[in-house]
């Protein structure tokens, strides 16, 4: 079950070229939230907006398509989206909250729904949780070192960053591409990512990511009744182009392989933590 | 929902120690959900705020709110009696579980200046579950009540689910009776498992937590020691066996509460 429970999996991309112009892959998150917003399925979404430094995201409660557009693109650093989940139901007054997050953030959302301790009124107001595939994340200073020192690109001239095919790539506004082997980035990974046992956001309503689909397209899992229903309505309304995942390369085999690799490696880390000291270990949150 | 004979219900009491009644208000904040609970699953057989039963009776579940003033002998007797008379003792809210704001009590106020020392109930009796929060969320109180019913009156399958659901809250009670924003430092960040999701900042009732550089920063002079941040953190406990069924469990609770597809 390395891919979690899901009802359906396709390769897809947004139908709106304006969304695709600056989306990381197939524009799934932006397009699906835009659809849900227009249809009244959500009345706002917590997304990774622009922070005060280049490529430093900040959680934003987006209530317009324009605000959603601002949040397009992957920022390979921490954006504490769940920090806004209660506020979205308070001063923002939302009744139907959308949230996008990495697998750990979607786990946090589900825990807040099933075991709400400081989260009054949150459980019933989560209308659409979109999860993004995530292998690991980096603290901002780690990302800065990778981009500025290793790739020799200024953070402010980067227009896109991407991890794929064993490389970390930075694209600049003037058309240059700078790449380093992923191996060089490992030491900058956030330590807390090494105990994570979820690659494809198993607990989301809909999860999406680049792996498995061609460039410009995304792999999309629909997982819950809510996710299936919203996705179905969006397809019916013509918001996405889709292909059966079986018809695209590299397809689900690669997703399964990377998910298995991540879980196997991190399970080993968890096992090692149990006997990290001498007759003593470190805490395991899962037991 | 079919009507159930009263005999099948469990009995729940609300025991008010040194609390503010906000935990009881949170239970009442379930609105019609509270009536569904009382119609179908539980009799409230003790609650000084709502009913005229003077002494702590036998009950299946004691929801205890507030901490215990050890300088007040009636309070000390009450908490002991609650333990003696209840099958399951729930520390409802952060005062009962962790002391919360009463940690800062130090006596010297009229007209009982000697009332200076307060302890969480777990310092005096064995507590089965912690349900922290200041206030505790209404939904969590409802879930615990429904799960306690299933644990005591359900089928084997329901008992198993209820036991799995309640386990992390039982583990919290075993873990100890001290809480603070520092828990995030000691048991999450220092343990190398914080991943910067921001849940703690959302859970904090006094906005003492901000996320700086991808990690929580706790203003410890603002913190009231409620323990919500650690309890809510997905890296304090994350029980996959329950969490992987979040959709089915949410639907089951909704069905139990008479909420269909709305």
What is the residue-wise DSSP string for A124-183? GGEEEEEEE--S----HHHHHIIIIIIS---GGGEEEEEEETTEEEEEETTS-EEEEEGG
pLDDT in tens, B14-41: 999 999 999 999 999 999 999 999 999 9
**Average pLDDT rounded to a whole number, residues A112-132:** 97
Q: What are phi and psi of B67, to 5 degrees?
A: -95, -175
Out of B194, B203, B243, closest to residue A118 by CB:
B203
Distance from CA of A124 to the nearest CA of B (A): 9
Give helix B138-153 / helix B156-175 axis angle, nearest 10°.
Answer: 130
Residue A140 has pLDDT above 90, yes or no: yes
Tokens of B193: 């498992």
Contact list, B135 vs chain A (CB under 8 Å): 120
pLDDT score at A91 = 98
Q: How many CB atoms lie within 10 A of CB A25?
A: 27
The predicted complex's ipTM stands at 0.97
3-state SS class at B118:
strand
Contact list, A135 vs chain B (CB under 8 Å): none
Contact list, B244 vs chain A (CB under 8 Å): 4-5, 202-203
pLDDT score at B262 = 45
Residue B259 has pLDDT above 90, yes or no: no
User: Do B139 and A196 count as a contact with CB atoms less than 8 A apart?
Assistant: no
Q: Any long-range contacts for B74-83 (C-beta under 8 Å, 24+ apart)?
A: B75/B17, B75/B18, B76/B124, B78/B15, B78/B17, B79/B15, B79/B17, B79/B121, B79/B124, B79/B125, B80/B124, B80/B125, B81/B56, B82/B13, B82/B15, B82/B56, B82/B125, B83/B125, B83/B126
Out of B228, B240, B249, closest to residue A114 by CB:
B249
pLDDT score at A1 = 82
What is the pTM (predicted TM-score) of this model?
0.97
- Of the candidates A115, A120, A109, A86, the one whose C-alpha atom is nearest the C-alpha of residue A207 is A109
pLDDT score at A221 = 98
User: Do B196 and A78 count as a contact with CB atoms less than 8 A apart?
Assistant: yes
Contact list, A225 vs chain B (CB under 8 Å): 247
Q: How far apart are CA B258 and CA B255, in angstroms?
A: 5
Locate the chain B residue with the closest alpha carbon to A197: B240
| CA-atom Rg of chain B in angstroms | 19
Q: How far apart are CA B12 and CA B88, in angstroms?
A: 9
Name the CA dihedral angle for A252, A258, A260, A266, rounded to a multiple of 10 degrees: -150
Q: Which residue has the higher pLDDT, B7 or B225?
A: B225
pLDDT score at B3 = 56
Out of B197, B203, B247, closest to residue A80 by CB:
B197
pLDDT in tens, A22-42: 999 999 999 999 999 999 999
Contact list, B234 vs chain A (CB under 8 Å): 104, 107-108, 111, 285
Residue B99 has pLDDT above 60, yes or no: yes
Q: How far apart are CA B154 and CA B148, in angstroms?
A: 9
pLDDT in tens, A44-94: 999 999 999 999 999 999 999 999 999 999 999 999 999 999 999 999 999
- Of the candidates A18, A26, A13, the one whose C-alpha atom is nearest the C-alpha of residue A240 is A13
Looking at the DSSP bridge assignments, the partners of residue B91 are B64, B130
Tokens of B29: 């904040």
Residue B7 has pLDDT above 80, yes or no: no
Return mean pLDDT, chain A: 97
Residues 16-75 on A with a CB inside 8 Å of B are 59
């Amino acid at each position: 079950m390395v891919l979690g429970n899901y009802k359906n999996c396709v390769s897809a991309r947004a139908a709106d070229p304006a969304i695709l112009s600056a989306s990381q892959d197939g524009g799934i998150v932006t397009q699906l939230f835009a659809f849900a917003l227009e249809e009244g399925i959500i009345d706002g979404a917590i997304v990774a907006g622009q922070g005060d430094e280049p490529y430093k995201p900040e959680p934003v409660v987006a209530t317009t398509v324009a605000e959603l557009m601002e949040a397009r693109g992957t920022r390979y650093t921490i954006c504490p989206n769940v920090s806004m989940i209660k506020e979205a139901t308070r001063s923002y007054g939302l009744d139907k909250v959308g949230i996008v997050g990495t697998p750990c953030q979607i786990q946090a959302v589900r825990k807040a729904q099933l075991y709400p301790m400081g989260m009054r009124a949150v459980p019933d107001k989560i209308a659409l949780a979109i999860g993004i595939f995530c292998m690991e994340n980096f603290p901002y200073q780690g990302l800065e070192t990778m981009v500025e020192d290793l790739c020799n690109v200024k953070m402010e001239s980067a227009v896109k960053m991407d991890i794929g095919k064993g490389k970390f790539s930075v694209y600049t506004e003037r058309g240059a591409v700078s790449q380093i082997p992923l191996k060089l980035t490992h030491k900058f990974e956030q330590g807390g990512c090494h105990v994570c046992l979820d690659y494809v956001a198993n607990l989301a309503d809909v999860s999406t990511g680049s792996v498995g689909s061609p460039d410009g397209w995304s792999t999309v899992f629909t997982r819950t009744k809510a996710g299936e229903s919203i996705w179905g309505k969006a397809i019916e309304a013509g918001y996405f182009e889709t292909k059966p995942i079986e018809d695209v390369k590299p397809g689900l085999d690669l997703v399964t392989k990377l998910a298995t690799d991540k879980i196997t490696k991190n399970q080993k880390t968890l096992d090692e933590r149990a006997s990290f000291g001498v007759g003593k270990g470190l805490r395991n949150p899962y037991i | 929902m079919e009507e159930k004979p009263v005999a099948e219900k469990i009995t729940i009491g609300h025991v008010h120690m040194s609390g503010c009644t906000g935990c009881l208000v949170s239970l009442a904040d379930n609105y019609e959900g509270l009536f569904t609970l009382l119609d179908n699953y539980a009799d409230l057989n003790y609650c000084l705020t709502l009913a005229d039963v003077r002494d702590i009776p036998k009950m299946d579940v004691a929801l205890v709110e507030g901490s215990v003033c050890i300088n007040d002998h009636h309070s000390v007797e009450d908490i002991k009696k609650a333990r003696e008379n209840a099958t399951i003792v729930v520390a409802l809210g952060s005062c009962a579980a962790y002391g919360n704001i009463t940690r800062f009590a130090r006596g010297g106020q009229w007209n009982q200046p000697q009332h200076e020392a307060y302890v969480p109930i777990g310092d005096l009796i064995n507590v089965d579950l912690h349900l922290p929060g200041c206030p505790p969320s209404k939904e969590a109180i409802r879930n615990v009540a429904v799960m306690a019913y299933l644990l005591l009156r359900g089928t084997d399958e329901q008992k198993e689910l209820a036991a799995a659901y309640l386990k992390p809250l039982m583990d919290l009670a075993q873990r100890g009776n001290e809480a603070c924003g520092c828990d995030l430092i000691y048991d999450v960040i220092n343990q190398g498992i914080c991943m910067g999701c921001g849940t703690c900042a959302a859970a904090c009732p006094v906005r003492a937590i901000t996320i700086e550089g991808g990690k929580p920063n706790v203003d410890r002079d603002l913190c009231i020691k409620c323990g919500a941040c650690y309890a809510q953190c997905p890296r304090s406990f994350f029980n996959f066996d329950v969490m992987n069924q979040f959709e089915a469990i949410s639907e089951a609770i909704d069905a139990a509460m008479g909420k269909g597809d709305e």
